[in-house]
Amino acid sequence: MISEKIILGIDPGTTIMGFGIISVKKGKMEMVSIHELILKKYPNHETKLKYIFERTLSLIDEFHPDEVALEAPFFGKNVQSMLKLGRAQGVAMAASLYRNIPITEYSPKKIKMAITGNGNASKEQVAGMLQNLLNLKEFPTKYLDASDGLAVAVCHHFNSGTIADTKSYSGWESFLKQNPDRLK
């Protein structure tokens, strides 16, 4: 039996990317770290993707997560924004798979539902509930994208052992088997 599990949660973004890390010991959650990667200062999308990959790898190398959970891109009206978000998520997935860390995706509604009981909760409501769930006196970051990354990790813990509405991959081979349409 595993005595401790470390979960890295990622909220992909191209302006701010949020990361939250929790430790679970005997079913008790504890926040280990919360980070954000500020990307709006970089000149182009390719540079942002490079920094997303490098930052995700550095967090994996520093905290040694057992699992990575990501927020799946939501479907919006702006196709260009969706493509950029999908690329950001893909780069974070690639970094995780590069280090052979299993990944799981969760929809934004599922994350909000797991944390607050309301799939339409605001970012502020999610952050407030996380503060309560993790017994934080104050929230350690001003960026709600970072708290969203933490929410993904907590959602993953709450959903451990269930498969509904998620996709999990243990490596490139697993990813390609479950997504044959992405192989060209």
The per-residue pLDDT for range 149-181, each reduced to its tens digit, is 999 999 999 998 654 444 566 666 766 677 666
- Work out the pLDDT band at 183, boundaries 50, 70, 90: low
Residue 145 marked in a binding site: yes
* 66 noted as active-site residue: no
- Give the other-Cβ count within 10 Å of 168's Cβ: 15
Q: Is 145 a catalytic residue?
A: yes
* Mean of pLDDT values over 23-47: 93
Catalytic entry in 11, 36, 105, 148: 11
Say how many domains are in the chain: 1
Full residue range of the structural domain in which residue 78 is found? 4-182
The answer to whether residue 46 is catalytic is: no
CATH number for position 125: 3.30.420.10
- Set 36, 67, 71, 105: catalytic member: 71
Separation between Cα atoms, residue 102 and residue 104, nearest integer Å: 7
pLDDT band per the 50, 70, 90 thresholds, residue 60: very high
**pLDDT tens-digit map of 109-139:** 999 999 999 999 999 999 999 999 999 988 7
pTM of the predicted model as reported, rounded to 2 decimal places: 0.85
